[in-house]
Structure 1
Amino acid sequence: MAVTIGSVAKAAGVSVSTVSRALNTPDLVNAATRQRVVAAAEKLGYTPNQAARSLREGRTESLGLLIPDITNPFFPPIFKAMQERAKRLGYTLLVADSDEREADELETIAAVSKKVDGLVLWASMLPEHRLAELAERMPVVLVNRQVPGVSEVHVSLTDGMAQAAEHLKAYGHQRCVFVDGNGNRPDQSRSKSIRAAFDAHGLSLIEIGPYEPRFETGVHAAPLVLAHQATAVLAHNDLVAMGVLHQLAALGASVPGDVSVVGIDDTLLASVSTPSLTTIRIDPDEIASRAVDLLIGLVHERPPATPVVQVGSRLIPRGTTGPVRRDPQQ
């Protein structure tokens, strides 16, 4: 005879609803009670009937994650961390790629939304009114896209960017280039925060782009960096920065001797490149836990105290930044 959730509740001396929370949303139950429930479930050999529970509650026990480009090395750790967090809380995570195209994003949302209880949309390209309408129909959490009234995990580059500007200024840099990889996205907050940080430190910042946030963008931008006689370049992300490094080497420019390079994201590429890439770190585990927790709260009709949750950033200095090369005759 199958062991029921009622049997576990009786053995643990708690209510059926407490057993459900302890097994599916453990962060909502105190540690002692959770351990007692888990121990009782293991002793009795209880296995939740996921299909029956989903049918009863009208939920799929799945969440959706839509990202712009799965080939960007920033996203696999995000997906993995979100998947682990979702699994701990009793959910399966489905991931899809919009390929940086609005039309693909719309089609994917239409398909995936039927199979999940809520969606995390990363840097969505959709107009505000469409996102607002979607959030009225189902739980939605945006990452790096601000829409009034819609829950968001906002990655703040303020601290990391200020540290990068201070770092470059200390090395004597004055003329810098920002390679904008924001494409035609509606949210221009990254560019604004970068300019604010460099202006605050008295650094000249030349913006080139916007382009797509890809390796090829960095390859294209490298000759422009040299043409502008810049001594430092800040790339939209690590992938763009790697393209810059690759092409600067092909053009015979030394890094960091002739040009210092800074990326954003702190992906695996940053630590294994030669020289290793100075970059602004964004913690994938923190983003994952904040986004999943926020979305599950909405699924269970627990609106957050504040619709915007902020995740910070910090500079990781490595080998691609150094002092400005001085003219020996000066």
Structure 2
Amino acid sequence: MAVTIGEVAKAAGVSVSTVSRALNTPDLVNAVTRQRVKDAADRLGYAPNPAARSLREGRTESLGLLIPDITNPFFPPIFKAMQERAKRQGYTLLVADSDEREADELETIAAVSKKVDGLVLWASMLPEERLAELAARMPVVLVNRHVPGVVEVHVSLTDGIAQAAEHLKAYGHQQCVFVDGNGNRPDQSRSKSIREAFDAHGLGLIEIGPYEPRFETGVHAAPLVLAHGATAVLAHNDLVAMGVLHQLAALGASVPADVSVVGIDDTLLASVSTPSLTTIRIAPDEVATKAIDLLIGLAHGRQPAQPVTEVGSRLIPRGTTGPASRATFARRDDA
């Protein structure tokens, strides 16, 4: 028979309510009493009943994560890291995919919001006013989407992009292409950061897009890169970069001898591609920890000191970048 909370209280010499506070809100119990309760619970083999506890407190002990595209290899490590972080704190994580569509995101939020204690929304497509309304009704943490007054984890690409620009400049590149995969998203900060960084390093930048952040976008963009005579490409993410690499090879262009390619995210694809992909790394564990901790804090009524928490980035140089070709691929092909 399972050990009851009353038996733990008797063994620890305290009231049932004190045991409940010691196990569920330990900050409200002094350290000596808290340890006595823990020792008694461990000795008796007491295991709290999460279902009963959540029913009493009106909580589900579940959190929701809504991502734009589960087929993007960037997101499975994010989900796994968030799931592990949530599990350590007694929560189950439910994940859903909006397929980059605002209507699907709205529908999913409506279906999931009653089943979870809070939501992490990654690069939400929704208008600011809808997100503000949602955050007023339930705990919400945004990732890579800024709405005044709503808690946010911002993945800053500033350092990584500056390092990429410096890296390409050092290799002698002068004309670069940015393949914009931001689609019709409200947040255009990535494009702005890239323009500013490349301008600061005296690099010419041609922007192609915006398109959807998919492999097919890179395939479409590759011949445009060659047509512009660019010697370097910065892709919206690794998935787009892989499409560029694939199509450049099909067109007979060599990477990095003819064109250097840089991705963003540092997914598994980056390290296993041939050649391995130079990319800007975003640490999934750091994003996961900050987002989940903030969300659980909100679920327990704790507001963060600052509404925006930042996660940085850095360049990981690999095999797809090298010295700029003295003549463009198109010119050599015509010779």
For the aligned pair, the TM-score class normalised by the smaller chain equals over 0.9
Match of residue 24 from structure 2: 20
Match of residue 229 from structure 2: 229
Do the aligned partners of residues 79 and 31 (structure 1) sit closer, same or farther apart at CA in structure 2, a change above 3 Å counting?
A: farther
Match of residue 266 from structure 1: 266
- The DSSP-based 3-state class of the residue aligned with 1:202 is coil
Cα distance in 2 for residues equivalent to 1:33 and 1:250: 70
Measure how far apart 1:2 and its partner are: 3.1
C-alpha deviations, 1:26-75, integer Å up to 9, x for none? xx999999887666534322121111111110010100000000000000
More moved, 318-327 vs 133-142: 318-327
Cα distance in 1 for residues equivalent to 2:37 and 2:84: 21
What is the 5 A alignment of 1:292-311?
Answer: 292-311=292-311
What is the 5 A alignment of 1:229-248?
Answer: 229-248=229-248
Once the two structures are aligned, what percentage of the paired residues are identical?
A: 87
Measure how far apart 1:196 and its partner are: 1.0
> Unaligned 5+ residue runs, structure 2?
328-335
Given residue 199 of structure 2, which amino acid in structure 1 is its aligned partner? D
C-alpha deviations, 1:187-240, integer Å up to 9, x for none? 001111111111111111110000000000000000000011000000000000
1:68–1:123 Cα contact (<8 Å) kept? yes
Match of residue 130 from structure 2: 130
More moved, 92-101 vs 38-47: 38-47
> Unaligned 5+ residue runs, structure 1?
none
Are positions 1:277 and 2:281 aligned together? no
RMSD over aligned Cα atoms: 2.3
Match of residue 46 from structure 1: 46
Cα distance in 1 for residues equivalent to 2:296 and 2:264: 29
More moved, 297-306 vs 31-40: 31-40
What is the 5 A alignment of 1:1-330?
Answer: 1-5=1-5, 7-8=7-8, 15-16=18-19, 17-21=21-25, 40-326=40-326
Measure how far apart 1:9 and its partner are: 6.0
TM-score, L = length of structure 1: 0.93
Given residue 250 of structure 1, which amino acid in structure 2 is its aligned partner? A
Q: Which has the larger radius of gyration?
A: 2
Do the aligned partners of residues 32 and 129 (structure 1) sit closer, same or farther apart at CA in structure 2, a change above 3 Å counting?
A: same
Given residue 24 of structure 2, which amino acid in structure 1 is its aligned partner? S
Measure how far apart 1:80 and its partner are: 0.3
Given residue 88 of structure 1, which amino acid in structure 2 is its aligned partner? R
Aligned length: 324
TM-score, L = length of structure 2: 0.91
Cα distance in 1 for residues equivalent to 2:73 and 2:32: 39
- The DSSP-based 3-state class of the residue aligned with 2:147 is coil
Do the aligned partners of residues 123 and 33 (structure 1) sit closer, same or farther apart at CA in structure 2, a change above 3 Å counting?
A: farther
- The DSSP-based 3-state class of the residue aligned with 1:226 is helix
Cα distance in 2 for residues equivalent to 1:168 and 1:33: 60
